[in-house]
Chain A
Amino acid sequence: MTEAIDVEGLIKRFGKVTALDGLDLKVRTGEVHGFLGPNGAGKTTTIRVLLGLMRHDGGSARLLGGDPWADATNLHKRLAYVPGDVTFWPNLTGGEVIDLLGRLRGGLDPKRRDDLIERFELDPRKKGRTYSKGNRQKVALIAALASDVELLLLDEPTSGLDPLMEEVFREVILQEKRRGDRTVLLSSHILAEVEALCDRLTIIRDGRSVESGTLDELRHLTRTTIRAELTGPVNGLADLAGVHDLISTDGRVTFDVDAEALEPALKSLVAAGVRSLVSQPPSLEELFLRHYTRGEAGSAK
Chain B
Amino acid sequence: MTGTGKLLRLILRRDRVILPLWVFLLGILPQVYLSSFEKIFTTDAERLDYAHLGAANAGFVALYGLLPGDSMGELVVWRAGFVPVMIGLITLLTVIRHTRADEEAGRSDLIRATVVGRWAQLAAALLATMLGSLVMGLIVTASMIGGGQPAGGSVAFGVLFTLSGWIFAGVAAIAAQLTSSARGARMIAVLVLGAAYVLRLGGDISAQGDGRLEWLSWLSPIGWVQRIFPYGANDWWPAVLGLLFTVASLGVAGYLLTRRDLGAGLLASRLGPAHAGPGLSSPFGLAWRLHRGLLLGWTGGFAALGLVFGGVGGSVVQIAESSSGVADTFAKIGGAGSITDAYFTSTAGICGLIIALYAIQACLRIRDEEQSGHAELILGTAVRRTAWAGGHLFFALLGPAVAMAVEGALAGATFGDFGPVLGASLAQLPAVWVLGSVAVLLIGVLPRFAGVAWGAVAVCLLLLLFGELVEFPQWVMDVSPFTHVPQLPGADFTVVPEMVLVLIAAAVGGAGLTALRRRDIPA
Q: At the interface, yes or no: A290 with Cβ under 8 Å from chain B? A: no
> Which of B283, B285, B286, B290 has the largest number of chain A CB atoms within 10 A?
B286
Q: At the interface, yes or no: B6 with Cβ under 8 Å from chain A? A: no
Cα–Cα distance between A72 and B273 once the two chains are bound (Å): 31
Cα–Cα distance between A103 and B183 once the two chains are bound (Å): 28
Whether A86 and B377, one on each chain, are in contact in the complex, defined by CB atoms closer than 8 angstroms, is yes
**With a CB–CB cut-off of 8 A, which chain A residues contact B276?**
95-100, 103
Chain A, range 61-85, C-beta contacts under 8 Å to B = 72-74, 76-77, 80-81, 83, 85
Q: At the interface, yes or no: B499 with Cβ under 8 Å from chain A? A: no
Cα–Cα distance between A90 and B187 once the two chains are bound (Å): 15
Cα–Cα distance between A81 and B518 once the two chains are bound (Å): 21
Chain A residue with Cβ nearest B272 = A93
Chain B residue with Cβ nearest A153 = B380
Total number of A residues with any Cβ neighbor in B under 8 Å: 42
Instruction: Kindly identify which residue among A83, A104, A130 contacts B383, using a CB–CB cutoff of 8 Å.
Output: A104
Whether A89 and B381, one on each chain, are in contact in the complex, defined by CB atoms closer than 8 angstroms, is no
Cα–Cα distance between A77 and B381 once the two chains are bound (Å): 7
Instruction: Kindly identify which residue among B274, B283, B372, B376 contacts A95, using a CB–CB cutoff of 8 Å.
Output: B274
Cα–Cα distance between A77 and B276 once the two chains are bound (Å): 20
Whether A87 and B181, one on each chain, are in contact in the complex, defined by CB atoms closer than 8 angstroms, is no
Whether A54 and B274, one on each chain, are in contact in the complex, defined by CB atoms closer than 8 angstroms, is no
**With a CB–CB cut-off of 8 A, which chain B residues contact A95?**
272-276
Q: Which of A119-127, A180-188, A195-203 lines the interface with chain B?
A: A119-127
A87 touching B373 in the complex, CB below 8 Å, given contacts A76-B380, A99-B280, A100-B281: yes
Q: At the interface, yes or no: A101 with Cβ under 8 Å from chain B? A: yes
1/0 per residue B357-380: CB within 8 Å of A? 000000000000000111011111
Q: At the interface, yes or no: B162 with Cβ under 8 Å from chain A? A: no
Whether B180 and A129, one on each chain, are in contact in the complex, defined by CB atoms closer than 8 angstroms, is yes
Cα–Cα distance between A230 and B483 once the two chains are bound (Å): 97
A76 touching B271 in the complex, CB below 8 Å, given contacts A85-B373, A92-B289, A99-B280: no
Cα–Cα distance between A88 and B382 once the two chains are bound (Å): 18
Q: How far is the CB of A120 from chain B (nearest CB, A)?
A: 14
**With a CB–CB cut-off of 8 A, which chain B residues contact A93?**
271-274
Chain B, range 238-290, C-beta contacts under 8 Å to A = 269-276, 280-283, 285-286, 289-290
Whether B275 and A96, one on each chain, are in contact in the complex, defined by CB atoms closer than 8 angstroms, is yes
Q: At the interface, yes or no: B492 with Cβ under 8 Å from chain A? A: no
Whether B273 and A104, one on each chain, are in contact in the complex, defined by CB atoms closer than 8 angstroms, is no
Q: At the interface, yes or no: B520 with Cβ under 8 Å from chain A? A: yes
A89 touching B373 in the complex, CB below 8 Å, given contacts A53-B379, A76-B380, A130-B269: no
Q: How far is the CB of B112 from chain A (nearest CB, A)?
A: 18
Q: How far is the CB of B100 from chain A (nearest CB, A)?
A: 12
Q: How far is the CB of A118 from chain B (nearest CB, A)?
A: 12
Whether B373 and A86, one on each chain, are in contact in the complex, defined by CB atoms closer than 8 angstroms, is yes
Cα–Cα distance between A86 and B377 once the two chains are bound (Å): 8
Q: At the interface, yes or no: B521 with Cβ under 8 Å from chain A? A: yes
Cα–Cα distance between A129 and B373 once the two chains are bound (Å): 14
Instruction: Kindly identify which residue among B269, B282, B289, B374 contacts A104, using a CB–CB cutoff of 8 Å.
Output: B282
Q: At the interface, yes or no: B107 with Cβ under 8 Å from chain A? A: no
Cα–Cα distance between A97 and B273 once the two chains are bound (Å): 11
Q: At the interface, yes or no: B9 with Cβ under 8 Å from chain A? A: no
Whether B289 and A83, one on each chain, are in contact in the complex, defined by CB atoms closer than 8 angstroms, is no
A88 touching B381 in the complex, CB below 8 Å, given contacts A54-B520, A99-B280: no
Whether A55 and B384, one on each chain, are in contact in the complex, defined by CB atoms closer than 8 angstroms, is no
Q: How far is the CB of B81 from chain A (nearest CB, A)?
A: 37
1/0 per residue B488-523: CB within 8 Å of A? 000000000000000000000000000000111110
Whether A126 and B271, one on each chain, are in contact in the complex, defined by CB atoms closer than 8 angstroms, is yes
Q: At the interface, yes or no: A40 with Cβ under 8 Å from chain B? A: no
**With a CB–CB cut-off of 8 A, which chain B residues contact A280?**
none
Query: What are 5 sample pairs from A and B whose C-beta atoms fall under 8 A apart?
Result: A54-B520, A101-B378, A104-B381, A125-B272, A129-B269
Which residues of chain B have a CB within 8 Å of any CB of chain A?
180-181, 183, 269-276, 280-283, 285-286, 289-290, 293, 372-374, 376-384, 518-522
Which residues of chain A have a CB within 8 Å of any CB of chain B?
48, 51, 53-55, 72-74, 76-77, 80-81, 83, 85-93, 95-101, 103-106, 123-127, 129-130, 140, 153
